[in-house]
Amino acid sequence: LDAMSEAVLRSEYAKLVPLPSEAGKERTMKEVLQRLKEVARWQQLPLREVQRECRDCDISTGGVSAKLGDLEQRAELVERLILVKYADRWVEQGLPVKRIGGIKAATRLAVEMQRIEGNSKDEQLVQREFFNLGLPKDANNKTPLLQEMLKQLRNVALWRELPLHELRRECQDQGISVGGLTGDEEEQ
C-alpha cells in the first residue's frame, strides 16, 4: 500500500469504503492509507474478533443472520464498522449510524432527512405529508405545530431504516408493547 500512487490509493479506498462522498470529510493521503490498512485488517480477522471490534465501538451486531456463513457475516459487520468510523459528517448531522444495519440504509436515511429538511419551510407540504402517513392530530383535534410534525416525519424516516431488532428496541423504549409480534429479521 505504501508504494501505491495517490490516484490508485484513492481508487482502492473508494472500493473498500463504499460511502457516498457526503457521508465523510475529505481525507489526507495519510488518513486514506491508515483507513485502507484498518479495513484490510478487519477483513482478515475471524468473525468473533470483528464482533468484538463492533462491541468495543458500541456498534449493534444484532440482525446479522446466523444463516449466513462466517464470510458474509464478517462482511456485514465490517460494513457497519466502516459506516460508524468513517461517516463522520452523518454522525455530526445526528444520524444514528450505530443503530443502522448498513451503508445503503444509512444513505437512504440521509437522503430522506435532507428531503424533510428541504421541505421544512413549506408548512402545507409538511402537513400534507404528515397526514398522508396517517399520523393523528393532537389531543385537542388540532393540527400539530410544524416542529412537531417535522419531528414525527424524521422519526418515521428513521424507523423505516432501522433493522428489526433496533425497531423493537425503539418500541420498547417508547413503552410500546412488541409482545406477540412475529417477524423474521430476514423479512426486511
Chain CA centroid to CA 5, Å: 32
Output the CA–CA distances (angstroms, integers) from residue 118 to 46, 126, 158, 177, in the order listed: 43, 10, 17, 34
- Collect all residues with Cβ–Cβ distance below 8 Å to 133 and sequence separation of at least 6: 153, 156
Give the pLDDT of residue 28: 87
- Residue 3 C-alpha cell reads as 508504494
- DSSP string across 45-107: S-HHHHHHHHHHTT---TT--TTS-HHHHHHHHHHHHHHHHH-HHHHHTT--TTTS--HHHHH
Q: What pTM was estimated for this model as a whole?
A: 0.82
Per-residue pLDDT of the chain (188 residues; tens, 9 = 90+): 677 788 888 888 888 888 888 888 888 889 989 999 999 999 999 999 999 999 999 988 888 877 888 899 999 999 999 999 999 899 999 999 989 989 999 999 999 999 999 999 999 999 999 999 887 777 667 888 999 999 999 999 999 999 988 999 999 998 988 876 655 544 44
Q: How far apart are CA 186 and CA 171, in angstroms?
A: 19
